[in-house]
């Protein structure tokens, strides 16, 4: 990946879809060169071909919660990761440092749904010893944009 690839990646993160011609004008490459670089960036997995991000609140998903999960037995962690990957309400799962093992980002409609999710889907996974839940009251910044 060179400087031109990084410029292209920075541009395709902007809201709205730029044409190959517009990208080419901004990075001083031909349309063909931009198409080829985009093809390579997509096939290598460096960027996603297309991304449309829905607004959770517009879909009735008013609760954003962060759940810390303690897994004291390392041999049960692989099973946890496999099971949690199947839970659609879990947007993110991070292996973390500190007093807990994992941090989950969850989106649900209301607190009853959150309670049910934690009690029936998360705490029932083998090896989960304890959870700690934080509910976000307001989100001031949330982005997928990466600094290149």
State mean pLDDT over 44-48. 89
Do 95 and 121 lie in one domain? The reply is yes
Q: Is 107 exposed, middle or buried (0-12, 13-18, 19+ CB in 10 A)?
A: buried
Q: Which residue has the higher pLDDT, 42 or 90?
A: 90
Please give the mean pLDDT across all residues of the chain.
94
Phi-psi domain of 4 (left: phi exceeds 0; alpha: psi -120 through 50; beta: other)? alpha
Q: Which CATH number covers residue 31?
A: 1.10.10
| Contact present, 59 and 91 (Cβ < 8 Å) | no
pTM given for the model: 0.82
Name the strands in the sheet holding 102-108, side by side, starting at the edge strand that comes first in the sequence.
90-95, 102-108, 63-70, 130-136
Which residue range forms the structural domain that includes residue 18? 3-43
21 in Cβ contact with 31 (< 8 Å): yes
One domain, residues 83 and 118:
yes
Q: Which residue has the higher pLDDT, 144 or 75?
A: 75
pLDDT band at residue 13, thresholds of 50, 70 and 90? confident
Higher-pLDDT residue of 139 and 48 is 139
Kindly indicate the confidence band of residue 148, based on its pLDDT and cuts at 50, 70 and 90.
Answer: confident
**Could you report the per-residue pLDDT of 102-138, keeping only the tens digit for each?**
999 999 999 999 999 999 999 999 999 999 999 999 9
Question: Are residue 65 and residue 22 in the same domain, yes or no?
Answer: no
Is 80 exceeded by the pLDDT of residue 47?
A: yes
Q: What is the reported pLDDT for 54?
A: 84
**Residues written for the chain:** 148
Are residue 73 and residue 125 in the same domain, yes or no?
yes
């Amino acid at each position: 990946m060179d400087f031109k690839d990084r410029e292209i990646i920075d541009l395709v993160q902007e809201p709205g879809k730029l044409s190959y011609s517009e990208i080419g004008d901004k990075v001083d490459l031909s349309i063909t060169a931009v198409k080829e670089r985009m093809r390579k960036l997509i096939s290598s997995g460096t960027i996603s071909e297309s991304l449309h991000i829905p607004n959770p609140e517009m879909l009735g998903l008013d609760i954003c919660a962060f759940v810390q999960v303690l897994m004291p037995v390392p041999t049960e962690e692989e099973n946890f990761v496999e099971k949690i990957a199947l839970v659609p309400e879990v947007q993110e799962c991070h292996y973390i440092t500190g007093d807990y093992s994992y941090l989950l980002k969850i989106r649900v409609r209301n607190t009853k749904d959150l309670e049910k999710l934690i009690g029936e889907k998360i705490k029932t996974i083998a090896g989960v010893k304890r959870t700690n839940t934080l509910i976000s009251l307001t989100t001031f910044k949330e982005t997928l944009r990466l600094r290149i």
